[in-house]
Structures are given as structure tokens and as C-alpha cells.
């Protein structure tokens, strides 16, 4: 591997997380002729923060470990100080997301996956289900329901880049879907297809949508997300938001299967209300809670939900504009109305590329080696390409500084292909 030496040197010289910023080496003009082939000069500017991972996502720009000093470490989460922090995390989430007062919000184990599984295992089976998926996480929930819970379900799927027509869904069944497909970059444009007077429950995995996209609470009975996505928190815990109708189902229906303790939200047929004021089922990480509270603080400082959404929109637009300006790259999402403003997924469209997966990996590797874009390879089950996280913790200036590097890496790889031919 001809670049190995350079890659390792650069990797070793990378700064520790969230301490220092890269210096920008001076660069010369756009093209350099080297012997018989053309090399593209490296861009002059580097992103100050090259973290564009789709999870865990970049920490808020103001993040410092010292900011977590107020975490009640070594104290019981059941002590007044711990309970107060957990309650604040719930109340501030409600305020920032505009969750209605009669919806319950709980902090549950095992990140977003924990929250989705808890909802599906506790609520499904009372009526027929409809499982809707347009990428790998949604497909995972289909597997759970069809193969593990073995529930009578209609399965509706769309290929990567497309979305299921949500007007074709029967909302008198319980419907499970993912608002923003993190691995395809396809999102629900809105909740218009979901009737307010439905009989079934809607269970929505909104982990890469919450804090970046409008969620219509009257259309959602269960909403889940993890702190590690748009707010750049830690992955330890999931957030589970329940409508009054979801609570009614919990109190009136007992699944046919056994429920492990960490999934149990009722006792004696009544909701365990404590879970929804911060009395978590098992021990939470108070460090992760403190980190989430700090992220919420920062979110307020940039204008709350609207400010976060505007940041994600601006980031995504910078990438979309780049795609419009370059005919060798395109958004994986077919319909502009469904293009994600958080997990922006891209495909290479240049017909000189012989093996799409190898090419995309090589581009991502080049960018990582330069320390200008970390973790932007497409998800392992998704079509070959790149995925650039554009959630609110990412600075637009960093996206703008990274894109010329993407142009550089693309042309460098095309050149390498030509040399190899
Ligand atoms: C749509 C979606 N659902 C679920 C998950 C799993 O989240 P976690 O690992 O936080 O449980 C992810 C993670 O990227 C996701 O994007």
C-alpha cells in the first residue's frame, strides 16, 4: 500500500479528542504536474473539527471534559442530587422539543435500540402491525417483530434512497417506522400521511431526527432517540416518549411473552410513573446525564430547537450545493423532499469508477489520513458511498472547509485509477 507510511505518520500526529485544532499548511495553486501525470494540490484550509461521524456524533462545539465537573459522581442516582439531574434531563428535553405536557418522557437503558425494543416488546401484539423500513435500522426492527416476536405484520420496504409511500399504510394497525433513515439519508418529509384519529399506535425511531427535524407529536405515540446523535451526547441511554394512547395500551394490554426487568414499564397493570420523572429502571451513568445536560444548555444557547434545525439545514445545504456543482457525486436520496439534513448520504456517479465500494473506501481513507474527515464511509449495509453527518453540533464552516478536500480526494483516486489502468 503505497500510502501506508504517510497514513501512519499522520494518524500518530493527530491531536487527542477535543483539545487542539489543526494548523493549516500553506498550499499552492490548483493543479500540479508531476512527471507524466497530474496531481491535484491539497486545499489550503482544513476543517477545525474533522468529526463527521453519524454516531457517536460530534460533541457540541463548546464541549470540554471540565464542563462535566458538576456530575454527581460516586453518588446514588436515587439521592436527591441524582434524581434532580435526571428530572432536569427529562424536563429540558420536553421544553426543547416541545413535547406536549401529557406525554411521558423516560430515560431508559441501552441507547436508542433499548428504547425501540422496550416499546415494541411492551406494546405490540394487541393488534396487527405494519413494519415500514427504508434502510438497515428500520430493517432491523422488521426482523425483531417478524422473526423474534412473530407478530402478524405487513412489511413495507423501499430500497436505499427511496421511501415507502406512507399514505398506503393502514393506521388502524400498529405502525413501526424510522423517521430519518440514518444509513440511507432518507427522511419523512412530514407526518401528513398519519391520521390524528388512528386506532393503531405509531412507534417512531427518531434517533437521527430529534433536535433537527420537526416531529409532529400528535402523529406519534412512541418516539425514541439517543443522546449520541444530534446533540452529540453519549450513547448510554435511550429516550422514550409516550403519548397518552401509548400509556393506555400499556395499562390495558399484557403481551403474551415474558418481559425482562429492563423492559417493564407497568406494575399491577399501572404505569410506573417514577420512570418518567427520572427514577430509572436501573443505574444510569451520571456522567452521561451531565454530558446530556451540558448539550441541552448549548442547544439553548444556539436558539433551541429552531436554532439546531437551522444549523443542520445549513450544513446539509452546503453538501447538497456541492453535489449540484459536481456531476460526479449525488445524494443517495432520490426525492429532494426526503433528503436528510442530518445523515447526508452520497453516491459517486462517475462512470470511470470500476468498483464503487473500493473507490468510496479509498476516498474516505484518504480524507481520514489527512485528518480532514473522520468516519464518513457509508454504513456497512448501505450502498457504496459516503455519509456526512450534518446535525447541529457540526459547524457549517467545517463542512465548507472539508468539501474541497472531498473534491481533492475524488480526483486523486480517479488519477490513481488512471495510473493503475
Ligand atoms: C435509525 C437508527 N436506529 C437505531 C440506531 C441504534 O442506535 P443506538 O446504537 O444508539 O442504540 C441508530 C444508530 O445509528 C439509528 O441510526
The answer to whether residue 224 is domain-embedded is yes
CA of 233 to the centre of ligand 1 (A): 13
Beta bridge partners of 177: 204
Asked whether residue 329 falls in the same domain as residue 393, the answer is yes
Q: Quick: pLDDT tens for 194-227.
A: 999 999 999 999 999 999 999 999 999 999 999 9
What DSSP state is assigned to residue 57? P
pLDDT of residue 40: 80
Number of Cβ atoms within 10 Å of the Cβ of 21: 12
List, in sequence order, the alpha helices (H) in 188-285.
244-252
Asked whether residue 35 falls in the same domain as residue 174, the answer is no
- Who's near 173: CB < 8 A, 6+ residues apart? 127, 128, 129, 130, 154, 200
Question: Is residue 241 classed as helix, strand or coil in its secondary structure?
Answer: strand
Asked whether residue 39 falls in the same domain as residue 76, the answer is no
Q: Which atom of ligand 1 is nearest to the CA of 180?
A: 1
Asked whether residue 40 falls in the same domain as residue 118, the answer is no
Q: What is the CATH number of the domain that holds 221?
A: 3.40.640.10
CB 343 within 8 A of CB 185: yes
CA of 252 to the centre of ligand 1 (A): 29
Burial 308-330, CB ≥16 within 10 A → b, else e: bbbbbbbbbbbbbebbeeeeebb
Domain boundary among 236, 268, 300: 300
The answer to whether residue 113 is domain-embedded is yes
Asked whether residue 316 falls in the same domain as residue 275, the answer is no
Q: Quick: pLDDT tens for 23-52.
A: 444 343 344 444 445 668 999 999 999 999
Show the domain range for 356: 25-61+304-420
Give the up-direction half-sphere exposure of residue 417: CA atoms within 13 A in the CB hemisphere. Answer: 18
Asked whether residue 180 falls in the same domain as residue 317, the answer is no
Burial 124-160, CB ≥16 within 10 A → b, else e: bbebebbbbbbbbbbbbbbebbeeebebebeebebeb
Asked whether residue 205 falls in the same domain as residue 319, the answer is no
**Residue nearest (by alpha carbon) to ligand 1 atom 8:** 112
| Dihedral pair phi/psi, residue 254, rounded to 5° | -120, 120
List, in sequence order, the alpha helices (H) in 43-135.
80-97, 111-123
| Residue where the block lists cell 501512519 | 8
**Left if phi > 0, otherwise alpha if psi is -120 to 50, otherwise beta: which for 160?**
beta
Counting ligand 1 atoms within 8 A of each CB, the residue from 113, 144, 345 with the most, and so the one to mutate, is 113
Q: Which atom of ligand 1 is nearest to the CA of 115?
A: 11
Beta bridge partners of 226: 238
Instruction: Tell me the C-alpha distance between 37 and 2, whole Å.
Output: 16
The answer to whether residue 20 is domain-embedded is no
The answer to whether residue 361 is domain-embedded is yes
Asked whether residue 397 falls in the same domain as residue 333, the answer is yes
pLDDT of residue 195: 98
Domain boundary among 264, 284, 300: 300
What DSSP state is assigned to residue 420? H
Domain boundary among 300, 331, 349: 300
CA of 378 to the centre of ligand 1 (A): 15
Strands (E), 275-394: 329-331, 343-348, 386-389
pLDDT of residue 17: 52
CA of 312 to the centre of ligand 1 (A): 18
pLDDT of residue 114: 98
The answer to whether residue 250 is domain-embedded is yes
CA of 208 to the centre of ligand 1 (A): 8
The answer to whether residue 17 is domain-embedded is no
For the chain, helix, strand, coil in percent to 5 are 40, 15, 45
Counting ligand 1 atoms within 8 A of each CB, the residue from 107, 144, 207 with the most, and so the one to mutate, is 207
pLDDT of residue 27: 44
Structurally, the chain folds into a number of domains equal to: 2
Asked whether residue 177 falls in the same domain as residue 311, the answer is no
Counting ligand 1 atoms within 8 A of each CB, the residue from 182, 222, 240 with the most, and so the one to mutate, is 182
CA of 354 to the centre of ligand 1 (A): 32
CA of 203 to the centre of ligand 1 (A): 15
Regions of the chain short of the pLDDT cut 50? 1-16, 19-36
Q: What is the CATH number of the domain that holds 324?
A: 3.90.1150.10
The answer to whether residue 6 is domain-embedded is no
CA of 112 to the centre of ligand 1 (A): 6
Asked whether residue 180 falls in the same domain as residue 293, the answer is yes
Counting ligand 1 atoms within 8 A of each CB, the residue from 115, 203, 208 with the most, and so the one to mutate, is 208
Q: Quick: pLDDT tens for 119-162.
A: 999 999 999 999 999 999 999 999 999 999 999 999 999 999 99
pLDDT of residue 271: 98
Q: Quick: pLDDT tens for 393-409.
A: 999 999 999 999 999 99
Asked whether residue 394 falls in the same domain as residue 408, the answer is yes
Asked whether residue 360 falls in the same domain as residue 346, the answer is yes
Closest CA to 112 of 74, 71, 57: 57
pLDDT of residue 18: 56
> Kind of pairing, strands 31-34 and 37-40?
antiparallel
H/E run at residue 237: strand 237-242
Pocket around ligand 1: residues whose beta carbon is below 6 Å from it?
Answer: 55, 111-113, 137, 178, 182, 205, 207-208, 226, 228, 235
The sign of the torsion formed by the CA atoms of 391, 395, 398, 399 equals positive
Beta bridge partners of 241: 105, 223
The answer to whether residue 7 is domain-embedded is no
Amino acid at each position: 500500500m503505497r500510502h501506508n507510511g504517510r497514513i501512519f505518520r499522520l494518524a500518530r500526529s493527530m491531536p487527542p479528542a477535543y483539545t487542539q485544532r489543526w494548523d493549516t499548511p500553506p498550499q499552492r495553486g490548483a493543479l500540479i504536474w508531476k512527471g507524466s501525470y497530474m496531481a491535484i494540490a491539497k486545499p489550503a484550509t482544513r476543517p477545525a473539527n474533522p468529526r463527521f461521524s453519524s454516531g457517536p456524533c460530534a460533541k457540541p462545539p463548546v464541549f470540554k471534559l471540565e464542563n462535566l465537573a458538576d456530575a454527581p459522581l460516586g453518588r446514588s442516582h436515587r439521592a436527591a442530587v441524582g434524581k434532580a439531574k435526571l428530572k432536569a434531563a427529562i424536563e429540558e428535553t420536553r421544553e426543547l422539543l416541545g413535547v406536549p405536557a401529557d406525554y411521558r418522557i423516560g430515560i431508559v437503558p441501552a441507547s436508542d435500540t433499548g428504547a425501540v425494543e422496550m416499546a415494541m416488546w411492551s406494546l405490540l401484539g394487541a393488534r396487527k402491525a405494519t413494519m415500514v423500513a427504508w434502510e438497515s435500522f428500520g430493517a432491523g426492527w422488521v426482523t425483531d417483530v417478524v422473526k423474534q416476536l412473530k407478530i402478524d405484520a405487513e412489511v413495507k420496504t423501499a430500497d436505499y434512497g427511496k421511501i415507502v409511500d406512507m399514505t398506503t399504510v393502514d393506521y388502524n394497525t400498529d405502525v413501526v417506522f424510522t423517521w430519518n433513515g440514518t444509513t440511507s439519508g432518507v427522511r419523512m418529509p412530514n407526518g401528513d400521511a398519519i391520521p390524528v384519529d388512528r386506532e393503531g399506535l405509531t412507534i417512531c425511531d427518531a434517533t437521527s431526527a430529534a433536535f433537527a427535524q420537526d416531529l409532529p407529536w400528535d402523529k406519534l405515540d412512541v418516539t425514541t432517540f439517543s443522546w449520541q446523535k444530534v446533540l452529540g451526547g453519549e450513547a448510554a441511554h435511550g429516550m422514550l416518549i409516550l403519548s397518552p394512547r401509548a400509556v393506555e395500551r400499556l395499562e390495558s394490554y399484557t403481551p403474551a411473552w415474558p418481559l425482562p426487568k429492563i423492559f417493564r414499564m407497568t406494575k399491577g397493570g399501572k404505569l410506573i410513573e417514577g420512570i418518567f420523572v427520572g427514577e430509572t429502571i436501573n443505574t444510569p451513568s451520571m456522567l452521561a446525564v451531565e454530558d446530556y445536560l451540558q448539550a441541552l444548555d448549548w442547544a439553548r444557547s444556539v436558539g433551541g430547537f429552531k436554532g439546531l434545525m437551522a444549523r443542520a439545514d445549513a450544513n446539509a445545504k452546503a453538501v447538497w450545493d456541492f453535489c449540484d456543482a459536481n456531476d460526479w457525486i449525488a445524494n443517495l436520496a432520490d426525492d429532494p423532499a426526503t433528503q436528510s439534513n442530518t445523515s447526508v448520504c452520497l453516491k459517486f456517479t462517475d462512470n470511470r469508477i470500476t468498483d464503487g465500494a473500493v473507490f468510496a473506501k479509498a476516498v474516505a481513507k484518504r480524507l481520514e489520513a489527512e485528518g480532514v474527515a473522520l468516519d464518513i464511509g457509508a454504513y456497512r449495509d448501505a450502498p457504496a458511498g459516503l455519509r456526512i453527518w450534518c446535525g447541529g453540533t457540526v459547524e457549517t464552516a467545517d463542512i465548507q472547509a472539508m468539501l474541497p478536500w472531498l473534491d481533492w480526494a475524488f480526483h486523486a483516486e480517479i488519477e490513481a485509477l488512471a495510473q493503475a489502468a
